Structure 1
Amino acid sequence: MSRAFPLAGLLRLRQLQQDRAAGELSAANARNREARQARVEAYASLETSNTDAVDAATMNAIAAARASSRSMLADLNALGAQRTAEVETARAEFSAARARSVGLEKLQGKHAEAEAAENLRAEQTILDELAGTAWHRRQKEANS
């Protein structure tokens, strides 16, 4: 007696798209945390290195290490910025996917309410017919 929600297939597709977008957002957040942690570890590692230059060769090695560290930190900062941008893009995609499913979910809810109301009307009609038939039968028996 109940009709299926006519847009059920589209709703399922939208929910799958939303789930995929949520997974991508979660992965982007994880990559962003990893990049942030790598930056924190690099800074911590550089803070603990105390090498005193005792001769020219050591001073050259320290200068090369600092230049390399500066380059590594610049790369880590660029990676962090890229990961943050990926998170924002993934968040926007998730929000868009969620917005596309919400409208269909509301339509499905209204459809379910309408179906429930129709089922109740049909049931009430049957009950009214049964009550009317029983009343006529009692009246007929009472008159006979």
Structure 2
Amino acid sequence: MARQFPLAGLLRLRQLREDEAAGSLAAANERLRTSRDRVGVVSDALVSTDISPAGSASLYAVAAARAAARSALADLHALESQLTLEQGHAQDRYRAARAATVGLEKLEGRHQDAEATALLGAEQRVLDELASTGWARSAAKDRT
């Protein structure tokens, strides 16, 4: 019977950490995508504004609205920069977790290969023993 991989608990823990890091990376990617979508919407709104003010009050209102939109756009760019940094950190954490898991997965594969080789060797020894016992019986029968 094959032995269980001695580091199975550690491997499972590392896989859980990798899954957690992958989830964090996915969430960071989603926040970054959402932020970029918002930047696109505000940029499009600024570009497509075609208002012809009729008086000075309307002109001041349009100027204030555009200034507010530019300020919001600057805030969104700053947020996007922060989210890009967070996404980079999440990517680094995922890569580190994956690297730690891969090493143990390779060890587990070698362990499974060694166990399979040992099992096949044991089966072969049993078959050899049966064959030699059968041959000895057959030879003894032929002598009598």
1:32 deviates by 0.7
- How far the C-alpha of 1:54 sits from its partner, in A, is 2.5
**Residue equivalent to 1:85:** 85
Q: Distance in 2 between matches of 1:134 and 1:52?
A: 105
**1:6: which partner in 2?**
6
Distance 2:63 2:37 in 1: 25
Equivalences, count: 144
Q: Match for residue 20 of structure 1? A: 20
1:95 counterpart residue number? 95
Amino acid at match of 1:67: A
Q: Name the % identity.
A: 50
For residues 59-115 of structure 1, the C-alpha deviation after alignment (integer angstroms, 9 at most, x for no partner) is 221221122112101111011111111111111011000000000000001001100
What does 1:1-144 correspond to in 2, within 5 Å? 1-144=1-144
Would you identify which runs of 4 or more consecutive aligned residues in structure 1 move more than 4 Å? Answer: none
Name the CA distance, whole Å, in 2 between partners of 1:81 and 1:65: 24
What is the letter of the counterpart of residue 99 of structure 1?
A: A
Instruction: Please state whether the residue corresponding to 2:39 is helix, strand or coil.
Output: helix
Q: Which one-letter code corresponds to 1:32 in the other structure?
A: L
- How much has 1:58 moved relative to structure 2? 1.4
The one-letter amino acid of 1:40's match is G
How far apart in 2 are the matches of 1:79 and 1:116? 54
TM-score (structure 2 length as normaliser): 0.95
Structure 1 CA distance for aligned equivalents of residues 81 and 21 of structure 2: 21
CA root-mean-square deviation: 1.0
TM-score, normalised by the number of residues in structure 1? 0.95
Per the TM alignment, residue 134 of structure 1 is displaced from its structure 2 partner at its CA by 0.6
List gaps (5 residues or longer) in structure 1: none
